[in-house]
Amino acid sequence: MVTFRPAKDLAKAANFTLTNLRPYYEQYSVDWDEAQIEQMTQELVNFDILFEEKLVGVIRLSFDTEECWVRDLQVDQSYQNRGIGSIALAEAERLAKNHCSHILKLRVFKNSPAIHLYKRQGFVLTSEDDKICYMSRAVS
């Protein structure tokens, strides 16, 4: 069973991001560390992702008048491919509705396998650069 709670430890949440994204950071020469990630996420809405009450990931969101940005969705590698990401995106949509947001948006490294998850969840490519795909979908 997957549940969510407000993130209690932003440093731990930053570690999920750093661990999962390290290969992309190295490939694209992004020089971020845990402290920088933690600092950047303090202004976001941060939720721990729990699987059977064990902390297995983090989802970070931001809201404006029309949009909900999925700023980060990280699941521990040993818990990936179990539907947790799909459940987290459904939770993001529920929260977007609560904030009267009409569009879910995100960005993802072009070579990330997570693109397949996002496409299955109805996200479409809206733009791209040499590293990043920008994707969005309507909140249903």
Which tokens in the block code for residue 98? 């609560």
Name the pLDDT band for 34 (thresholds 50, 70, 90).
confident
Report in angstroms the alpha-carbon separations of 83 from 71, 76, 86, 99. Answer: 19, 12, 5, 25
Q: Which of 50, 21, 49 is nearest to 36 (CA)?
A: 21
Partners of residue 10 on adjacent β-strands = none
Amino acid at 109: F
Ranking 41-45, 56-60, 120-124 by mean pLDDT, the lowest is 41-45
Q: Pairing state of beta strands 67-75 and 103-109?
A: parallel
DSSP string covering 59-96: EEEEE-SSEEEEEEEEE-GGG-SSSHHHHHHHHHHHHH
Ranking 9-23, 51-65, 69-83, 90-104 by mean pLDDT, the lowest is 9-23
Strand order in the sheet with 67-75: 2-6, 45-51, 54-63, 67-75, 103-109, 132-138, 124-128
Q: Pairing state of beta strands 124-128 and 67-75?
A: unpaired
Contact indicator for 22, 69 with CB cutoff of 8 Å:
no
Q: pLDDT tens digit string along 57-68?
A: 999 999 988 999
